[in-house]
Amino acid sequence: MSVKLHIKKGDQVYVIAGDSKGQQGKVLKVDAAKQRAIVEGVNICKKATKPNAQNPQGGIVEQEAPIHISNLQVVDPKSGKATRVGRKAGDNGKLVRYAKKSGEEIK
């Protein structure tokens, strides 16, 4: 059973809780089963890596860690501020997401 989430890959999101609170970024990947998302430039952690083809030196690499989607809000396309997401029937009868703050449709 898949869960309907309020964020999708490619969305611009705002972090509302946690160590990265206040940061914005683009969603790179969503894991619906674990309800987590990887956001560009947010929740950076350091990881020790062995030498490999991509990184022959090895060492410590900084990468984005997954963040729970309850700590994320979609950014309103009109105002650029965080907003809740609603769903309504669009022009062709399919459900579309819209920003509750401005009523603007989220692409």
pLDDT score for 4: 85
Mean pLDDT of 57-82: 94
Q: Please tell me the chain's helix, strand, coil percentages from 3-state DSSP, rounded to the nearest 5.
A: 5, 45, 55
Tens of pLDDT, residues 73-82: 999 988 899 9
- Domain 12-77: CATH class, spelled out: mainly beta
Query: pTM score, two decimals?
Result: 0.84
What's the mean per-residue pLDDT of the chain?
93
**Residues whose CB is less than 8 angstroms from the CB of residue 83 and which lie 6 or more positions away in sequence, other chains included:** 73, 74, 75, 76, 99, 100, 101, 102
Q: Per-residue pLDDT for 2 more than 70?
A: no
pLDDT score for 1: 53
Token digits of residue 66: 């997954």
pLDDT score for 37: 97
